[in-house]
Amino acid sequence: MKKIVIASDSFKGSLTSKQVAESIEKGIFNVFPNCVTDKVFIADGGEGTVDALVETLKGDLITVKVHNPLMRPVHAYYGIIENGTTAIIETALASGLTLIAQEERNPMKTTTYGTGELIKDALLRGCRRFLIGIGGSATNDAGTGLLQALGYRFFDSTGNELGKGGEILSKIERIDDSQVIKEIKNSEFIVACDVKNPFSGKTGASYVFAPQKGADQEMVEMLDAGLKHFAGIVKRYYGIDIDNIPGSGAAGGMGGGLKAFLNASLVSGINIVLETIDFESRIKNADLIITGEGKLDAQTAMGKAPCGVLEMAQNNNIPVIAIGGSVEAYNELNKQGFTAVFPVLPAPVTLEKALEPDFAKANIENTITQIIRIIKNLK
């Protein structure tokens, strides 16, 4: 083995992409101390995207005081790469479900305003290209809060300006964009969107995702009706029908809102990440790629990070081994093209124990050591 590329997503709740890569590298060096390794930190647009891209591309992290989903002050951060021209935004860092207590979760009230504040700060710093990961939101407001932070205003039928949260969607009758921050017009917005759900309806944002964010059945129906109404208003103002655009229902309808108001592109998260870091050039002449994520299962084959890595590796005839904290769907993953998939847990343990960082690091190193020993002895 002359060159091995390491490109794993984070192990959610346990290790960052960088920590996983470092543990994999230790396992490789235990057997092939002179092997060339290239650690590439990746994510699929969800948790860890900012950290992974900033680490890989040697960018900067910017911390900003913004508002959380319930409009309470919170510090969040975003990344700047490519000589200050591109901003990496993670919705979860300002508008995420983990920022509020479980008993407070209510998508009728929660807002994406804080994410808009991150975008505004980056615009004022000179960024004109935005990669926005919209996973993990606590919201179902179609991105209206984000848009309000950028200067958009929403009014009801009597001319009253509306507040925030999913509850305003059914009341919106007029949109005012006269105070929108001017820098938006010359900016490009790319949204990492790995779900195909439409804006509204039984497979839309509210019915599929709002229960996870604290909505009961009555709320789900009200939110869905609000999204349907808002889609009609958007069509009247901007001539775009967001209701049936695949991915428009992502993040409580944020995908559709960003598409309509910011002319955003909705793209595969892992694909845009790999393109941004020029992954294809980094895997040239590699003998092997090792990838992974916290759980390898049927969902992995549907656009997750290891899937994107595999696709690019296949285009370059490079074998790929995947590791995970747990592994399901072995046959599906093998049929997809992974040379082999391995769980890293040595024995049954509690979830709490499995997520302990030091325990996880040691398990990854030990698993990789055993895999590489097999490779060495078959050469």
Residue 33 DSSP one-character state:
T
Q: Is 358 helix (H, G, I), strand (E, B) or coil?
A: helix
User: In whole angstroms, what is the distance from residue 356 CA to residue 224 CA?
Assistant: 39
Asked if residue 100 is part of any domain, the answer here is yes
Same domain, 247 and 305: no
Q: Where are the beta strands (DSSP E) in the chain?
A: 3-6, 36-39, 60-67, 73-81, 86-90, 129-133, 153-155, 174-176, 188-192, 265-267, 288-296, 320-327, 340-343
Mean local confidence (pLDDT), 142-151: 98
* CATH at 36: 3.40.50.10350
> Which of these ranges, 15-19, 178-182, 325-329, 336-340, has the smallest mean pLDDT?
325-329
Asked if residue 277 is part of any domain, the answer here is no
User: In whole angstroms, what is the distance from residue 293 CA to residue 43 CA?
Assistant: 9
pLDDT digits (tens, 9 = 90+) for 157-215: 999 999 999 999 999 999 999 999 999 999 999 999 878 899 999 999 999 999 999 99
Mean local confidence (pLDDT), 113-133: 97
Same domain, 74 and 212: yes
Asked if residue 280 is part of any domain, the answer here is no
Does the pLDDT of residue 133 top 80, yes or no?
yes
* CATH at 253: 3.90.1510.10
Tokens standing for 335? 């049929």
The confidence score (pLDDT) of residue 92 equals 93
Q: Which domain holds residue 264?
A: 49-269
Q: Where are the beta strands (DSSP E) in 43-192?
A: 60-67, 73-81, 86-90, 129-133, 153-155, 174-176, 188-192
Does the pLDDT of residue 297 top 90, yes or no?
no
The confidence score (pLDDT) of residue 75 equals 98
Mean local confidence (pLDDT), 357-377: 96
Q: What angle do CA 229, 145, 138 make, to 5 degrees?
A: 90
Does the pLDDT of residue 305 top 70, yes or no?
yes
Same domain, 124 and 218: yes
User: In whole angstroms, what is the distance from residue 234 CA to residue 175 CA?
Assistant: 9
Mean local confidence (pLDDT), 26-31: 98
Query: Into how many domains does the chain fold?
Result: 2
Asked if residue 282 is part of any domain, the answer here is no
pLDDT band, residue 47 (cuts 50/70/90): confident
Q: Tell me the three-class secondary structure of 180-228, residue by residue.
A: CCHHHHHCEEEEECCCCCCCCCCCCHHHHHHHHHCCCHHHHHHHHHHHH
User: How many residues in total does the chain contain?
Assistant: 379
pLDDT digits (tens, 9 = 90+) for 225-240: 999 999 999 999 999 9
Same domain, 80 and 156: yes
pLDDT digits (tens, 9 = 90+) for 309-335: 999 999 999 999 999 999 988 999 999
Same domain, 116 and 192: yes
Asked if residue 274 is part of any domain, the answer here is no
Q: Are the C-beta atoms of 313 and 5 separated by less than 8 Å?
A: no
Q: Are the C-beta atoms of 173 and 234 separated by less than 8 Å?
A: no
Tokens standing for 1? 């083995």
